[in-house]
Amino acid sequence: MTRFADPQRIRSLIEGLDAFTATPGRGTTRLTYSPQFRAASDYLRAQMESAGLSVREDAIGNLVGRLEGRDPGLAPLLIGSHFDSVPNGGKFDGPAGVAAGIETAFLFRDHGLTPERPIEIIAMIEEEGTRFGGGLVASRILTGELDTASLGSLPDDDGITMAQAMAAYGLDPAQAGRAVRQPGSVHAFLELHIEQGPVLEAQGEDVGIVERIVGMAQLKVTFRGQAGHAGTTPMTARCDALVGAVAALSRLPGLAYAMGRDAVLTVGKLEVRPGGANVIPDRVTFTIDIRAPAEEVVRELIGQCRAVIGQAGGNGLTAEVEEQMFVAPTPLSPELHDRLLRNAGQLGLKSRTMVSGAGHDAMILAGFAPTGLVFVPSHKGISHAPEEWTDYGQLARGIDVIFTSACELTLPAGQAPASPRPAS
C-alpha cells in the first residue's frame, strides 16, 4: 500500500509528458532540443511550478525547480533524471525519475514541510546520446567532465552541432559553461529509474537499491583475409575473413556463461566487407560489449576474448583486437544505499540490493556528490520500446523511498511525517 506518493498524480504527469513525442502511436521519440523537447520542458516547468518550486532553465537546457531551504546557503539535495528518449522508446525511461522529483516536491507541499537545505528537482537533457552521441551529456557537463568548448564539434545525424542546436533552442552556447557545478555545491543526488530488466518483477520485489554500476568494456575486432571470386577459388586456396570471425564468434557467449559472476557479453554489430554475394570476404569487423559487477571479471573476459580470437586467426588470416572503451565499476554512496534500503524496509516494501547493468546519470554524479539510485520494476523487463511499462502503484512505492530519504536528508530529526498524506 502506498503511504505517501499519489499514483494518480504521477500517472497524470507521465502520460501528460508523453504527449510530446515525434512519433505518436509508435512510442516516445524526444530528441534533445527538438520542438517536442521544448514543449516537454514547458510542460514540466508548469508541473514544477504547481508543486511550489521556483523554476529556471540552466545554461544547457536542464530544467531546475528549487524548493528553498531555511538556509538558502546550504548545498542543495538534487533529485531527478533525464527527459530525452531513444527513438521509439517508452514513456518511463527518464521521466519516472523526473516524476519522482516533482512528486517529492508535491509531498513536501502537501505536508507543509520546509527543508533546512534547498531541494532542487532536475530534468536533464541528452542522457541517451540519441541526438549527439556519447550520452550522459548533462551529468558530464554539470560535473565538469565534458568540456563545454567541445559542443561545437558534436554533430547530430543531419550535421547540426550541439552548439547550433542549443542556439536554435534559445540558449547561448558561449554561456554553456555556466551549467557546470562546483565541487561540494551538491549535498547529494538521488535518482529513481526503471530497472529495464526482469529481476524485480520476477522476484515480486518492490524496489532495488543500487550499490554500484557495472564495469564495462567495448572491443572492436577485425579479421583480415583475401578477397576472391566465389566461383573460381577452390576451398583449399581460400583465406576467408568471415570463416575465421564466425569461429571466434561462436565461442564468445560461452566465455561469459562459463565465467558466471553476473558477467554478460554481447556482439551487437557485425560488418562483412566487401559485402558481395559472389565475393569471398576479406574484412570482417564486430564489436564485443562486456559487462560485470567486478572489474577483475571484465579484465579476465577481455583476456579470454583475445585468446579465442587469436586461435581463430592463422592460415593467412590476421585478427586484431582494439579496446575502445573501459569503464571500471562505479560504486554509489554506501551511506545512501543503506539509508534507502532501511527506508524501504520501514515502508514495508520488499527490496533488494542490485548492481545496475546500464549506465545512468547517477553513474557520473557518483564521482561528484554522494549518490543513491532506486530501481522500480519494469514489466517483463522491457525497455527502450513502446511496450515499456511500470505500474503506477509500483512507481509510487519507489517514490516513497525517495521522499522519506529526502525528508531525512533535509529536515531536522523527528520532523519527517510519520503518517500517510494528511486528509485534505
Sites of contact with Zn ion (CB under 5 A): 93-94
- Phi/psi for 157 (5° steps) reads -65, -20
Q: How many CB atoms lie within 10 A of CB 410?
A: 25
SS3 category, 415:
coil
- By C-alpha distance, which of 251, 283, 285 is closest to 268? 285
Least distance (Å) between residue 29 CB and Zn ion: 14
Least distance (Å) between residue 37 CB and Zn ion: 15
Measured from the CB atom, the residue of 91 and 337 that comes closer to Zn ion is 91
Least distance (Å) between residue 285 CB and Zn ion: 29
Measured from the CB atom, the residue of 76 and 94 that comes closer to Zn ion is 94
Q: Contact, 71 vs 187, CB < 8 A?
A: no
Region of 182 (left: φ > 0; alpha: ψ -120 to 50; beta: rest) is beta
CA–CA separation, 204 and 149 (whole Å): 47
- Phi/psi for 202 (5° steps) reads -65, -35
| Pairing outcome for strands 215-224 and 63-67 | unpaired
SS3 category, 164:
helix
CA–CA separation, 357 and 206 (whole Å): 18
Least distance (Å) between residue 360 CB and Zn ion: 6
Q: Contact, 174 vs 41, CB < 8 A?
A: no
Report CA torsion sign: 200, 369, 361, 212: negative
CA–CA separation, 93 and 80 (whole Å): 12
Measured from the CB atom, the residue of 285 and 383 that comes closer to Zn ion is 383
Q: Give the DSSP H/E element, type plus range, for residue 208.
A: strand 207-213
Q: Contact, 223 vs 314, CB < 8 A?
A: no
List, in sequence order, every beta strand (DSSP E) within 42-141: 54-57, 63-67, 77-82, 119-124
Measured from the CB atom, the residue of 279 and 385 that comes closer to Zn ion is 385
Residue 120 CB burial class (10 angstroms; 0-12, 13-18, ≥19): buried
Least distance (Å) between residue 127 CB and Zn ion: 5
Q: In the complex, which residue's CB is closest to Zn ion?
A: 93
Measured from the CB atom, the residue of 47 and 85 that comes closer to Zn ion is 85
Cell of 173: 552556447
Measured from the CB atom, the residue of 93 and 201 that comes closer to Zn ion is 93
Least distance (Å) between residue 86 CB and Zn ion: 9
- By C-alpha distance, which of 244, 214, 210 is closest to 328? 214
Least distance (Å) between residue 96 CB and Zn ion: 8
Least distance (Å) between residue 260 CB and Zn ion: 28
Measured from the CB atom, the residue of 94 and 370 that comes closer to Zn ion is 94
Least distance (Å) between residue 295 CB and Zn ion: 24
Measured from the CB atom, the residue of 94 and 118 that comes closer to Zn ion is 94
Measured from the CB atom, the residue of 118 and 359 that comes closer to Zn ion is 359
SS3 category, 344:
helix
Least distance (Å) between residue 81 CB and Zn ion: 7
Question: Angle at CA 189, nearest 5°, toward 101 and 95?
Answer: 35
Measured from the CB atom, the residue of 133 and 348 that comes closer to Zn ion is 133
